[in-house]
A and B are shown apart, each in its own frame.
Chain A
Amino acid sequence: MIPFNFDYFKPDSTEEAIKTYTSEWKLGKKVVYFTGGTEVITFSRGGKMTADAVIDLKGIPDCTVLEMVGEKLIIGAAITLNQLIESDVFPLLSETARRIADHTSRNKITIGGNLMSKLNYKECILPLLVAEAVVVIVGPKGMEELPAEKLASGILEEGTFLTQIKVPVSNLNLPYTSLKRTRTTKVGYPIVSLAALIKEDRIRVAFSGLDEYPFRSAVVEATLNDRTLSDEQRISKAIAKLPTSISDDFLASKGFRKFTLGILLTEMNTVLEGQP
């Protein structure tokens, strides 16, 4: 049971959502946005967060679209992971989403909630990073489009929320792979998760589970694409050049994460090299 009360609003438009946020915030209330709500509910129940007002974005048409417009695939923030998987419009995203949580939870977890999660994993961002997606943010100051990597650390200005993700159509159907290792069972948070694709003969890869935030690194990619080196050399050098310190926590030690990353990068090379 959630041990505190809040007001619940379900606006029909982005304007109504912003107006509601602003008026509640001016009253000194703590306001949170909500799409799938699974994290808001579990964090609230577990004493990890509180709220005086909750704004559910599922009633906003901009947040529930999933369509091609011109040269972009538009994904509304309130699209559930299973809707993404079933539509299979962006196979690398479908494959990555299929390994997040379990089938029933994926009927509720949304892409917007995953990208804005307070947890470090945000695995849906990995395909967006390698496909150079942009995200649409709306707030009291208006609307803006940002590169998806701006969401990796998850901090948006007060009152702003994510409405849509836009992916260039030219990056939807490139050769790809999505790999993940968990501690024990198939369902679980990643020790390491990666999403990779090949564009113009170069591998692009993004990682989650290694450190505080998911990331894509130019230095790591340059090393992985250095054809003067053997496969093994590329992988060991890429690991040495990671732009982050590898986490050491209850899921896995630093050493085991490094070892697992090496295995996943080898698998990645095998899969991608086998593709046309």
Chain B
Amino acid sequence: MIMSNTSKYTVIPLLVNGQSHDVMVRSADTLLHTLREQIGLTGAKHACGNGDCGACTVLVDGKPMHSCLMLAVEAVSEEITTIEGLKHSEMRQAFVEQWAIQCGYCTPGFILNCHALVKEHPDADDEKIEEWLQSNLCRCTGYYEIKQAVKFVLEMNKKNG
């Protein structure tokens, strides 16, 4: 049985962007808090803290997850990817080229979600794209360009086989 303790901090191993980190956490610390405050990866953003906005999205074993809704202790033995781990991804490049960024606060969450979408559904249609994009809010309302970035990567991947 895995256990982590209340009154003292517990050291747990987290595998983030292919690197192992031993971090000191309270059981009550969220993955978002731990990534930002313990590991210094500030790409995942804190906003609603409620699962409503997607600014905190990371990938856990390739699946998009709101890191504000996950305890750090739950992430032991999982493979975590943050935006810092997608520096050279096609999706990040597509966001730049398609002007899918304005203030940028929502952008890391969107890129991670869209990256997972094209990996899981290389033939995603409009309905699928919309279903996945409902998980993220953009206050600058750049949804059209974001959708174009997803379509651009889907097309490019199809062309490149």
Binding site for B on A (CB under 8 A): 1-2, 4-12, 16, 20, 36-38, 41-42, 44-45, 52-54, 56, 58-59, 82, 101-105, 107-108, 185-187
CA–CA, A41 to B28, complex, Å? 8
Inter-chain contact count A-B, CB under 8 Å?
100
- What is the minimal beta-carbon distance from A169 to any residue of chain B, in angstroms? 29
Binding site for A on B (CB under 8 A): 1-7, 26-30, 33, 49-51, 54, 57, 60, 63-66, 68-71, 73-74, 113, 131-132, 134-136
Return chain B residues, CB-CB under 8 Å to A38: 51, 66, 69
Return chain A residues, CB-CB under 8 Å to B70: 37, 41, 108
Neighbour of A102 across the interface among B49, B71, B135, CB < 8 A? B135
- What is the minimal beta-carbon distance from A223 to any residue of chain B, in angstroms? 35
Which residue of the partner chain A has the closest CB to B2? A10
Return chain A residues, CB-CB under 8 Å to B30: 1-2, 41
Neighbour of A186 across the interface among B2, B73, B134, CB < 8 A? B134
Contact between B54 and A104, CB atoms less than 8 A apart: yes
CA–CA, A37 to B60, complex, Å? 15
Contact between A54 and B66, CB atoms less than 8 A apart: no
Return chain A residues, CB-CB under 8 Å to B71: 8, 37, 41
CA–CA, A10 to B75, complex, Å? 12
Return chain A residues, CB-CB under 8 Å to B27: 5-8, 54
Q: A9-B3, A41-B71, A42-B50 are in contact. List 10 more A-B contacts (CB 8 A).
A: A1-B28, A8-B4, A8-B27, A45-B49, A54-B27, A58-B74, A102-B51, A102-B54, A107-B64, A108-B66
Q: Given A42-B69, A107-B63, A7–B4 Cβ distance below 8 Å?
A: yes
Return chain B residues, CB-CB under 8 Å to A54: 27
CA–CA, A82 to B131, complex, Å? 12
Neighbour of A7 across the interface among B3, B50, B54, B135, CB < 8 A? B3
Neighbour of A104 across the interface among B1, B4, B64, CB < 8 A? B64
Neighbour of B51 across the interface among A6, A16, A42, A44, CB < 8 A? A42
Return chain A residues, CB-CB under 8 Å to B5: 7
Contact between A101 and B49, CB atoms less than 8 A apart: no
Q: Given A42-B50, A104-B113, A105-B51, A37–B135 Cβ distance below 8 Å?
A: no
